[in-house]
Structure 1
Amino acid sequence: MRIVMVLLLLLPLRAFACTGQTACSLPEGSYHVREPDGWDGVTPLPVLLHFHGWQRQGTLIVNHARIAGHTRRRGVLLIAPNGPGRSWDWWNRETDNIAFARAVLDDVAARYPVDQDRIYVSGYSWGGAMAWRFVCADGADVAALLAISGTLDQDKECDTHPREVRHVHGLSDTVMAYPGRGSGDLAYPVSLWRELMGCDEGSQPKPWQAVSWLSFERTSWDCDRGRVVLDRHPGGHFIPHGWIGWQLDQLMGRVPTYP
């Protein structure tokens, strides 16, 4: 028994005390963690940092079937920071939320063996705009942005960009409307990244499906400094079934599956 106790004390420090519904606390705020199924406690983990929507919290994210339901099956560590006042300040470059998100990533790296080449940043709605703001200001080490129904104005200036951008938006979204819909330019929602990353003319739109009841139309751009992907669907303001899992599979070189 004494030997067992000694061995337990020698194990690397991990977030045993703050997973799931129990938040990890920092001076800047708090966040939640969802470990992947069957993780051995040693293998370096890809990370998905996900910014929640308006008036939500990380407690929802770590149990969300369309977010945690995909990360936990793919060996990805899900990180869900709690926005101050259940919101995010993504309006300007000086927002404290950028430093908070970076502090969360640093704290996670101190608790877990993180695969530094596979740091993904995501967000939905208000959180999607915050995800854009974060990688625009401090995204040089981000492998990919996975943004859902939330953007910045396309005339913003960015100090950094991720290696890859993947954005999905509904053409019938009435909460955060499809950017540029009135102009007829269906590629407008990612024009900021296309200009910043030096992209080509783009592919012809191609249809695909993760589930039978929702079709996407995908346009992709190969760029001097990465890659940009835009998925459009005919629906409104929601996290599409299977979308996050599909992107993670492709980014990690796997055959995409659902769920």
Structure 2
Amino acid sequence: MNRLICLLALCCAAPFFASADTQRDVCHLDVPCTLGDRSYHVKEPDGWDGSSPMPVLIHFHGWQRTGALPVQHQRISGATRRRGVLLIAPNGNRKTWNMWYPETEDVQFAADVLEDVIRRYPVDTNNIYLSGYSYGSIMAWRVACDRGTEMNVRALLGISGTIGQSEDCAQAPKEARHVHGLKDNVLDFPYGPQGETDYPVFLWRNQLGCSQEATDGGDWSAVEFLTLTRTEWRACTNGTKVALDVHPGGHFIPHGWIARQLDELLGRTPVFP
């Protein structure tokens, strides 16, 4: 833990010394960055000048995928590359993740990936985001639960997958946002004990000390055929927030969802794409 905290502090204080050409020669897109016997993929944002610190989105792929998919995916890398965000996509062993229990080897791997990224790139350590889809979303939740504070995670962006809502997390992100389809038949929508549709973020509402009062965030859409309904819990400890977007569809990454979350977190006017 101390090693990562020190590295985060050093990144904020010290000038970046490696050249952009060196970074691109090592690994990019289809060519993964190696880290011991593991690896991860990288997608730099459009127009990056090679020296300015970048926000980072670490996105965990779904079951039987690899990190090569998110860095090419329009609803993932299409969002990050237009918003100055460095996209990092780790590769799971056997194309999956070990995320059902605390402090698995994949949790440590995620922390090691962030350390390695900070060595390679200038990182805006106040804007580190975790994301994932399906099993990858469960993995992102697990990392946020076990290492959210240590990794200085600004926000968790979960898509169609959660850990158990009764878990006792050792750490937490500063903010949590989640989206889930009511007709998801792969990882079923986690209704509450009385059928509550706000239950998918029950864990983070407790963990972040949010009041029970919810705010209707209204309906929104990036494409005509899919409307999402937002609920927010804004009265949380230290001014943090929990947000839940629900839609009537199934198991997929909604168009514009990652883009909208990044725009809001970075203080931009939400646009699509």
The bucket for the TM-score relative to the shorter chain is: over 0.9
Structure 1 residues 43 and 111: CA distance shift in structure 2, 3 A: same
Which AA in structure 2 matches 1:235?
G
Secondary structure (helix, strand or coil) at the match of 2:68 reads helix
Contact 2:103 2:146 in 1 (8 A): no
Determine helix, strand or coil for the equivalent of 1:199: coil
Superposition deviation, residue 206 in structure 1: 1.5
Residue 11 of structure 1 aligns with an amino acid whose one-letter code is: S
CA radius of gyration, larger in: 1
Question: Does the Cα contact within 8 Å between 1:44 and 1:113 map onto a contact in 2?
Answer: yes
Aligned to 1:195: 206
Match of 1:216 among 200, 207, 228: 228
Q: Cα distance, 1:28 vs. partner?
A: 4.8
Are 2:192 and 2:198, in contact at CA under 8 Å, matched by a contact in 1? no
Q: Which residue of 2 is the match for residue 206 of structure 1? A: 218
Query: Do the aligned partners of 1:15 and 1:111 also contact (CA within 8 Å) in 2?
Result: no
Q: How far does residue 210 in structure 1 lie from its aligned partner after superposition?
A: 1.8
Distance in 2 between residues matched to 1:11 and 1:168, nearest whole Å:
38
What is the CA distance between 1:11 and its match in structure 2? 3.3
Runs of 4+ in 1 over 3 A off after TM superposition: 9-13
What's the % identity of the aligned pairs?
54
Give the Cα separation in 1 of the matches to 2:75 and 2:133: 11
Deviation of residue 179 (structure 1)?
0.2
- Structure 2 alignment gaps of length 5 or more: 1-16
C-alpha contact 1:168 1:232 (8 A) present in aligned 2: yes
Partners of 1:108 and 1:152 in 2: CA distance: 26
- In the other structure, the counterpart of 2:19 is 11
| 1:55 aligned partner | 64
SS at match of 1:16: helix
1:103-252 alignment, distance < 5 Å? 103-140=112-149, 141-180=152-191, 183-200=194-211, 201-204=213-216, 206-222=218-234, 223-225=236-238, 226-252=240-266
**Corresponding residue for residue 65 of structure 1:** 74
Can you list the C-alpha shifts for 1:36-86, whole angstroms capped at 9, x where unaligned?
A: 011000110000000000000011111001100110111100000000110
Distance 1:10 1:251, change over 3 A: closer
Aligned residues, how many? Answer: 251
- In the aligned structure 1, how far is the partner of 2:82 from the partner of 2:75? 12
**Structure 1 residue 15, shift from structure 2 partner:** 4.3
Counterpart contact for 1:166–1:230, Cα < 8 Å? yes
Offset, 1:182: 7.0
| Greater Cα offset, 198-207 or 11-20 | 11-20
2:250 partner amino acid: G
Question: Could you say if the C-alpha distance between residues 121 and 16 of structure 1 is closer, same or farther in structure 2, counting changes exceeding 3 Å?
Answer: same
Deviation, structure 1 residue 213: 1.5
Normalised to the residue count of structure 1, the TM-score between the two structures is: 0.94
CA distance in 2, matches of 1:171, 1:11: 47
| Structure 1 unpaired stretches of 5+ | 1-8
Give distance in 1, aligned partners of 2:180 and 2:18: 47
TM-score w.r.t. structure 2 length?
0.89
Q: Aligned AA for 2:163?
A: L
Query: What amino acid sits opposite 1:253 in the alignment?
Result: G
